[in-house]
């Protein structure tokens, strides 16, 4: 049996490796879902009925079912039902599957926040752009976008901090993120077993990380304080 001081470096090493995977999933999810959410929100605002119906149904299904089930379906459906295991059985395969499920899930939540943000910008702003002869694209990028961003920073930061903790759901498909790493010392790993404190300690990682994000979002909010909408 290793002494506590002998356990420490082994545990922290494992947790750090796990956290890196958590961080990777977090960043990849944001990178994918922030733009995809915009496409879905344009879809649900589209005047072309089939597109808006599709987008709204997608948002309904994704928001109406647990993310955990979505992870299981994305990971197992191709192999078990279609007999075409596209993800492969290794860690990188599990990561891809998790990333796809997370991106889709968060894109749907983001799309609704975007929609609220875009529709919250007064119509007069768009019309002012129109009478100045600007195109729809110019109006969106040069006039609407920043005003929308200002409006969505608080709800987005809320959602993004939820994402930090939601990444732990990926262990349902055995992705080796930080909770998985902490848990491994209960069953036994690297000469340590029956220890629950590493699992509890993962909470500190989440807390510090969401603390950093909170500071960051406050900065963004302050930065956009110079104008009023």
Partner 1 sequence: MALLEVKNICKSFGKTEVLKGIDFSIEKGEALSIIGSSGSGKTTLLRCLNFLETSDSGTITVDGEILFDGAENIKLSDDKIRKNRLNFGLVFQNFNLFPQYTVLKNLTLAPTLLKKGDSATIEAKAKEIIKKVGLEDKVDFYPCQLSGGQQQRVAIARALMLSPKILCFDEPTSALDPELTGEVLRVIRELKDENTTMIIVTHEMNFAKNVSDKVIFMADGVIEEMGPPEQIFDNPQSKRLQEFLYSSLNK
Which residues of this protein are in contact with partner 1, per CB under 8 A? 122, 124-125, 127-136, 138, 142-143, 146-147, 150, 226-229
Task: Give the nearest distance from C-beta 48 to partner 1 in angstroms.
Answer: 15
SS3 for 171?
Answer: helix
Residue 44 or 147: the one with the smaller Cβ distance to partner 1 is 147
Shortest Cβ 154–partner 1 spacing (Å):
17
Measured from the CB atom, the residue of 136 and 219 that comes closer to partner 1 is 136
Torsion sign across C-alpha atoms 48, 50, 55, 60 = positive
Pick the closer one to partner 1 by CB: 131 or 215.
Answer: 131
CB of residue 114 vs partner 1: minimum separation in angstroms? 18
Residue 216 CB, nearest distance to partner 1 (Å)? 21
49-64 vs 4-45: helix crossing angle, rounded to 10: 150
Cα angle, residue 60 at apex, residues 96 and 106 outer, rounded to 5°? 35
Q: List residues bridging with 189 in a β-sheet.
A: 192
Quick check: helix, strand or coil at residue 6?
helix
Distance of alpha carbon 183 from alpha carbon 186, whole angstroms = 6
Nearer to partner 1, 121 or 169 (CB): 121
């Amino acid at each position: 049996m290793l002494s506590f001081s002998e356990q420490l470096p082994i545990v922290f090493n494992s947790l750090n490796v796990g956290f890196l995977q958590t961080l990777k999933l977090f960043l990849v999810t944001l990178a994918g879902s922030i733009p995809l959410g915009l496409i879905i929100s344009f879809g649900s605002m589209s005047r072309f009925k089939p597109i808006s119906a599709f987008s709204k149904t997608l948002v309904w299904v994704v928001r109406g079912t647990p993310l955990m089930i979505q992870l299981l379906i994305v990971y197992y459906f191709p192999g078990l039902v279609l007999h075409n295991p596209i993800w492969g059985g290794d860690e990188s395969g599990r990561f891809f599957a998790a990333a796809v499920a997370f991106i889709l899930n968060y894109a749907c939540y983001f799309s609704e926040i975007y929609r609220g943000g875009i529709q919250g910008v007064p119509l007069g702003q768009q019309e002012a752009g129109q009478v100045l002869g600007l195109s729809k694209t110019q109006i969106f990028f040069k006039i609407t976008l920043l005003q929308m961003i200002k409006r969505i920073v608080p709800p987005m930061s809320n959602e993004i901090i939820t994402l930090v903790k939601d990444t732990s759901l990926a262990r349902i498909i055995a992705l080796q993120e930080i909770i998985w790493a902490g848990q491994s010392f209960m069953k036994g790993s690297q000469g340590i077993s029956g220890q629950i404190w590493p699992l509890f300690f993962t909470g500190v990682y989440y807390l510090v990380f969401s603390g950093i994000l909170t500071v960051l979002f406050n900065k963004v909010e302050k930065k956009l304080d110079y104008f009023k909408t």
